[in-house]
Structure 1
């Protein structure tokens, strides 16, 4: 790229991460195309995985943890009869077993893996041990003892098995490792299994119906005239508002005087039927200025403010 001064841009991009690159690689490519000063992604997807990777720019990063903590939905295809070193097809096969389970055994195994379950994260995960991601230890042949975590598998549905492949969709809580889920299923079925296809379909209230591909951005880059900023206008139009990650919270509007005080971090009087709740605060021009909390004394207390927007 040939830009010098990085841009202060703010908003949320719903990226369709391609297969074969890390989430961080995808982020860096997008950040470069947008020429953005600050950006981060939500919820790591393995190189094998595709689908919804939310990218927060600028002030939107202040609210990204609301999406990090949200539920996710995936489309999964696993290969039965083979266990691999990484629990997916990027690894080497370390054990082969015949596929002999019955439909009843499959249904029981799915049932056992639904609800609140314990999961031991894969060594090939981004979880950090002593500040270093586990997968970096794994690549050196090291095995770090991991504690089991509680995760919720709300449902596993659309299950279809044919020969040595099984396909399903899973709706789960934050922190769920699909590779671990598939490996655990393989062990319950007595044949082993590993992920061959994984696509994230949903993060919180966002679905994968209107995702932006990196290739789409490159196409715009080719077509538009960057010198007159038409390219940046086009790609900035793809961004969702800064408060998108907190769109589930109610909105309140402040007068110019109260907006001014609120933006300075001051508590303001505010009569509302909303009590003891976080709210999205907007000024009279409908501009989002941050999160506040309304308490029982009818006061609006600043909770997380956004800096003044602008390039």
Structure 2
């Protein structure tokens, strides 16, 4: 029996989507995939349903490099509510405790937040996509299970206070730039615990993911309006190249002949690689006309060996 051919267009590229509140990241992905009539697509790290902001989506061959966005630094604008603890450490959870926070001062909050800058240890929340023994924690949480989680090291590169509103339930607006795997909800909860009043995130907006910022992002509503009754290719101008997330990786341009052999899986002799890095380092390989071919690794004898090649590079 012949295998059924997958439906959709074989498009390749990165879409910087502005996710709206009230939908899961997967719902946003599937909607965008449908609008572009794309054969293959994947997102690069979930945003909670209540959260908004930058959600890069990879189409086609770009999915091969989504890990670079998963591993990238992020920037968030968030509001912490102090005085109310919830089951999920965010606004969607069940209220667990309420403590009058009117005794807090701005100076106390600022001093407590200082402990969350730099290299810190975080215990992931139970309601998260982190897997333990192959099971996402949120699935265990739905069953009422609470298991011990290991603290993980993350880095908070920047944590600026934008505004503080004091009262029985105090609010703190913050601007956070952090490493991968950081849970903003955990910062809010841990801050509330440190101040003795509990806390959670009431608003969360991702302003940047890796090299992509909200200035580059397009909403689903914009895509729907522009598409109208026309064919999906009218939206292709929103797609960035498959290597858009790899710009920090040094680039090596190969001749057409060398490009051909690289795409066939052969290591290419090119002493220029030593100007780009050392043995074992990754390089971004392109054809002389700029066409992205994939990622290669510098070998000990001055060659670049294919590590991840895209199908359109042949």
Instruction: Name the TM-score class by shorter chain.
Output: over 0.9
Cα shift at 1:94: 0.9
**Alpha-carbon distance between aligned partners in 2 of 1:117 and 1:184, rounded to the nearest angstrom:** 12
Q: How is 1:143-162 mapped onto 2 (pairs within 5 angstroms)?
A: 143-162=146-165
Cα shift at 1:108: 2.0
Aligned to 2:108: 105
**Alpha-carbon distance between aligned partners in 2 of 1:275 and 1:70, rounded to the nearest angstrom:** 20
Cα shift at 1:296: 4.7
Query: Which residue of 218, 225, 237 corresponds with 2:230?
Result: 225
Tell me if the contact between 1:125 and 1:133 (Cα under 8 Å) persists in the aligned partners. yes
Tell me if the contact between 2:77 and 2:207 (Cα under 8 Å) persists in the aligned partners. yes
Aligned to 2:7: 5
- In structure 1, runs of 5+ residues without a counterpart are 227-231
**Alpha-carbon distance between aligned partners in 1 of 2:129 and 2:277, rounded to the nearest angstrom:** 39
Tell me if the contact between 2:51 and 2:205 (Cα under 8 Å) persists in the aligned partners. yes
Q: How is 1:8-157 mapped onto 2 (pairs within 5 angstroms)?
A: 8-99=10-101, 100-157=103-160
**Alpha-carbon distance between aligned partners in 1 of 2:188 and 2:93, rounded to the nearest angstrom:** 14
Greater than 3 Å deviation, 4+ residue runs: none
**Alpha-carbon distance between aligned partners in 2 of 1:210 and 1:308, rounded to the nearest angstrom:** 25
Cα shift at 1:309: 6.5
Provide the secondary structure at the position in 1 that maps to 2:35: helix
Provide the secondary structure at the position in 2 that maps to 1:43: coil
TM value normalised by structure 1:
0.92
Aligned to 2:256: 256
Query: Which residue of 199, 203, 213 corresponds with 2:209?
Result: 203
Query: Which residue of 297, 308, 311 corresponds with 2:312?
Result: 308
**Alpha-carbon distance between aligned partners in 1 of 2:73 and 2:65, rounded to the nearest angstrom:** 16
Provide the secondary structure at the position in 1 that maps to 2:257: helix
Cα shift at 1:129: 2.5
Cα shift at 1:107: 2.2
Tell me if the contact between 1:41 and 1:53 (Cα under 8 Å) persists in the aligned partners. yes
**Alpha-carbon distance between aligned partners in 2 of 1:296 and 1:72, rounded to the nearest angstrom:** 34
Aligned to 2:178: 172
Tell me if the contact between 1:275 and 1:296 (Cα under 8 Å) persists in the aligned partners. no
TM value normalised by structure 2:
0.91
**Alpha-carbon distance between aligned partners in 2 of 1:139 and 1:77, rounded to the nearest angstrom:** 26
Tell me if the contact between 2:263 and 2:313 (Cα under 8 Å) persists in the aligned partners. no
